[in-house]
Amino acid sequence: MTGSKSPKWLLLLLIPVAWDGAALAWVLAAGDPVQAEAPVRVMADCAGAAVLGLAALPRLSDRLSPRWRLLTVLAAVWAAMEFAMLVLEAAEVQGIPAGQLGAAQFGDFLTHVSGGQIGIALLIGCGSIAIYSAFGFRNPDRVTTDLVLVFAAVTLALRPITGHMSQQTLGSVLAALHALAACAWFGTLLALALTVRTRGEWAVLLPRFSNWALPLVITVAVTGVINGLVRLGGVTPLVSTGYGRILLAKTMLVVVLLALGWWWRRTWVPKAADHRIPADGSLRRAIVEVLVMALVFGLAGTLAVTA
């Protein structure tokens, strides 16, 4: 796994693929307005999901050591993306380019606009994770990933519970469940691809992840369908509106992921559990699924900022 032929470098494609999803969503939106922070939102979502997944890994096996250095870096990236989103949102509210945003205007946005106040809470969440993880890197015996898991889950849920679905009955709950289940599914598999090195580790961890993934997948599918129908108010807007077209493309890719997951449970998981597949083979399969998920995250991140 650590040799020059390791396919782990393919994970570098994650952000370009996620941005491809955002670009596809932009095309599908056509005349419907898409906010400028969509690409940054996608990066923030991916970083947040990765933090959640890395924090969840010790729950799969108590033999897995927390990756505090990687958690620190990803949480810092997450915080940087959330700050960038705040700047872009503030500039959009003021109706000026981000480069012309002054400190006083930015301060007014943070203190008087609900989006700014939510952004501050998000920054506190991911910033706290970065600081705690950095402390954990130096003092691993004095920290626990359970605290990171809680902070990451709360931070990831903040934006969906205050979004457009919050105006609907139980909309906040459904939106939060959808976001958390998607991030846990994507983030945990990404964390496995980043950290698992041997065939023996895949044999232990993959079946456990597969058991975790099933309820997560069901939650993503059910809440996604309900949220979409409530938001659109019918089937016709799926093709007549930009929001609907993006949602339709996202749904089609989720169906692909469901089919892929079903196939993996029948083929990859049993072989990995029986040590009948090399570590690189498991890694390649994980990366394929992660990249498809990244494309979905690109669509989803843009969908969240589409009128």
pLDDT tens for 142-186 read 999 999 999 999 999 998 887 665 566 667 888 899 999 999 999
Q: Looking at residue 1, what is its pLDDT?
A: 41
Q: What pLDDT score was predicted for residue 3? A: 43
Q: What is the pTM of this model?
A: 0.92
Give domain 14-300's CATH number out of 3.30.70, 3.40.1350, 1.10.10, 1.20.1630: 1.20.1630
Q: What is the pLDDT of residue 130?
A: 97
Q: Considering just the CA atoms, what is the radius of gyration of the chain in Å?
A: 19
Question: Nearest CA to 37 among 101, 95, 92, 85?
Answer: 85
Which pLDDT does position 2 carry in this prediction? 42
Q: Which of 146, 140, 139 has the alpha carbon at shortest distance from 55?
A: 146
pLDDT, residue 163, reads 64
- Mean pLDDT per block of 10 residues along the chain (307 residues) reads 66 94 89 78 95 94 89 97 93 88 92 90 96 96 95 93 64 88 96 94 95 93 86 82 90 93 94 94 96 95 77
* Predicted confidence (pLDDT) per residue in 257-272, tens digit: 999 999 999 999 999 9
203 pairs with which residues across the strands? Answer: none
**Is the distance from CB of 306 to CB of 25 less than 8 angstroms?**
yes
Q: In the prediction, which pLDDT does 168 show?
A: 63
Give the model's pLDDT for residue 279: 94
